[in-house]
Chains A and B, each alone.
Chain A
Amino acid sequence: MTLPYSSSAQTSPNHIVKVVMDSNDVTMEDDTKQLISAETKVKERDIISTLHESVLGHILSFVPIIDAVSTSVLSTSWIDVWTSTTNLKFDDSLLYSKKKMSKEHFVNSVEKVLLHFTNSGIQSVSLCLSSYQYDASQISEWISFFLERRVQKLHIQYADKVFLSSNSLFRCNSLVELTLQMRCTLSLPVSGCLANLQKLSISWIKLVSESESSTNSKDITLSFPILKVFEVRGCEWSQNITLQVPLLERFSIAIWKHHSNESSKYYIKVNSRRLTDFDYEGNLEQNIVLCDSSSIRNASVVIVVDEDKKDRIEKLGFQAYNHLKQINEAESLKLLFYKVLRHGKDIFTNLPVFGRLTYLQLNEVNGEALLQLLHNCPILNTLVLLNGVADLNKDVLTSASATLPRCFLSSFKVFEFKGFNANEHDLSLVKFMLENASILEKMRISPAFWLRYADIDFEKVKEQILSLPKRSSFCMVEFSDISSS
């Protein structure tokens, strides 16, 4: 086959260049670089069409389908290429000629496309509707169409009312990946199963029970035998839900304020022996039961509480303990608080011991809570503080110096202090660490962004810190640039 291109590389065709490329080569050798930068000019020959129709169809499957249809006029060999695509992407916010399609035009185009795929299998569908409000039944019809086509990956994003039939959903057991970001009510059967589902992500959905009885909502069991990832954001539920998910590795749930009241009456039980990653965001009111949390290695708990009611505050410590107890085998933990500082000390009345924890990240914490945490992490290696420490007074420090946390003597090596405020509390903490952590290797201090505008001589603060006594002789104290924070 004679090739329709020429290469203006330095080497002439008969000159042999031996280029050694073994696995350990991270950088390209000069010879290779020279070769690659040579210009190739394709001399007016249509090479793309020499590829098999399936490859061309594969290219088109990354193009929004309404766009792809227009390739039918490219040449006679391109007439049907777009129909061989098995990935349909619809997005009503795409600009055509700098303008969005009108709603009617979009709906019409979608209908026309679906007509062509009535008798084909569709492998994946992405339906992103963010520009208009559509007729609820229209969208439901489209969704049913996709489910009937035995789709494997389904991604739907639509913020308005739609009715999703759980019947057609659970009948589509070809589903491997399902993402639903829709404000809708999904009525679940008492027991539902999707045998091939590996990833499930639902947002803004209200989960209710199919069974009509208003008095006694029956418990629901959902079975996803090979599910690996489950993400739930901003959803509500109004009955107990048990998830039979034996291979689940990652569970992530975020509950937003105004949904929490109803949901807190019912539990979500996660039945998996393989859970390694757990993420929670909410006000701790919900009952998330992890049947076997012994394999959790990475956890993130984000606590958002902005109520001030007294009875709420009293329960907080107890609820925090229940949530944290489930992840006490974690090796890495992010524990973040929002709006909860006022109640800070009540959260930590009772903490589990994190026997495997080596990495801990905190954002806002008061002195007492911080020290309590350090005591409960006997093999902590790295501590990252995102926003400084509040309320670290002398009394707390004196009692802390009397009984040092165990990790200070045997494992604590890295302290990253981000958002350093250069105030009395933060300085006391730095002093306390340097004085007492016997094997600390590195302390990295990054000033809070606002220090740039403050009247503080940061150089002087640096000097002060560097001159503090250090228990660990090989401890290096570094500072991030004030302008880079």
Chain B
Amino acid sequence: MAEEKSQASSSKMLTLKASDGVLFEVELNIAKEMKTVQAYIDDCEDIETIPIPNVLGKHLAIVIEYIKKTNEEYDAEFEKQWNMDDLQLLLLAANYLNISGLQECLCKAIAKRIENKSPEYVRKVFNIENDHSPEEEAKLRKEYKWAFEGVDKD
């Protein structure tokens, strides 16, 4: 992937516009890593500015940087830098833009942070509202009793 980037035969530049108005001028082959953008280009040949309505400038900047630099070492360091909120928003961005490598990296990072944590902790971290009725939850906990014993009580 690195080779494709450095031997760019097309130095055509594309402009991506984030949801908060920030503009990014990127090379075509970087933009193409985002399959959503690729589909956009395929549909409208002469487009110069592509709107990315779901992604903040901050996160689009991180995503573009990731695409430029990605390799094993970078991935390992990458996931340590961001807090849970950013990780989630980045995953949403990677999902919307359809960048499989970044999605994989982010899924792993998020998994690491919720591993071995109680459901209460995970709910808090993700802002998930527990809409189970007490009976339903009790039933689930009984059915999967073996999975609940011995989890971190934090």
Contacts and interface: CB of A to CB of B under 8 A. Distances in A.
Interface of A: 1, 3, 5, 7, 9, 11, 13-25, 28, 32, 35-36, 38, 40-42, 44-52, 55, 58-64, 66-67, 69-76, 78-79, 94-97, 99, 101, 105, 108-109, 112
Contact of A62 (B5, B107, B151, B152): B107
Contacts of A51: 91-92, 95
Nearest to A3: B19
Contact of A22 (B20, B21, B27, B65): B27
Contacts of A40: 56, 58-59, 85-86, 89
Interface of B: 5-6, 8, 11, 13, 19-27, 29-30, 53-54, 56-59, 61-62, 64-65, 68, 85-86, 88-89, 91-92, 95, 103-104, 107-108, 110-112, 114-116, 118-119, 122-123, 126-132, 136-137, 140-141, 144, 146-153
Given A21-B64, A28-B65, A38-B58, A62 B146 contact: no
A32 B146 CA distance: 48
A99 B21 contact: no
A20 B25 contact: yes
A18 B17 CA distance: 10
B144 A5 contact: no
Contacts of B140: 72-73, 79
Given A46-B127, A74-B130, A108-B146, A21 B107 contact: no
A73 B136 CA distance: 9
B148 A70 contact: yes
A97 B23 contact: no
A20 B13 CA distance: 9
Contact of A69 (B61, B115, B147): B147
A36 B5 CA distance: 23
Contacts of B86: 40
A60 B92 CA distance: 16
A70 B108 contact: no
Given A63-B114, A74-B119, A69 B150 contact: no
Given A11-B57, A59-B114, A97-B151, 4 more contacts: A7-B20, A32-B65, A47-B89, A51-B95
B10 to A, nearest CB: 11
A42 B65 contact: no
B19 A76 contact: no
A23 B107 contact: no
Contacts of A69: 144, 147
Contact of B146 (A28, A35, A42, A112): A112
B113 to A, nearest CB: 10
B129 to A, nearest CB: 6
B52 to A, nearest CB: 12
Contact of B25 (A7, A18, A70): A18
A22 B27 CA distance: 6
Contact of B22 (A11, A72, A75, A76): A11
A21 B107 CA distance: 26
B58 to A, nearest CB: 5
B150 A23 contact: no
B24 A21 contact: yes
A32 B147 CA distance: 44
B144 A62 contact: no
B22 A73 contact: no
B115 A14 contact: no
B30 A21 contact: yes
Contacts of B104: 58
A4 to B, nearest CB: 9
A60 B126 CA distance: 14
A96 B122 contact: no
A73 B137 contact: yes
24 contacts: A11-B20, A16-B21, A18-B24, A20-B25, A21-B30, A21-B64, A21-B65, A21-B68, A22-B27, A23-B5, A24-B6, A25-B68, A32-B61, A36-B58, A40-B85, A48-B91, A62-B107, A63-B114, A69-B147, A70-B119, A70-B144, A70-B147, A70-B148, A101-B149
B86 to A, nearest CB: 6
Contacts of A19: 22-25, 61
Given A3-B19, A99-B150, A42 B110 contact: no
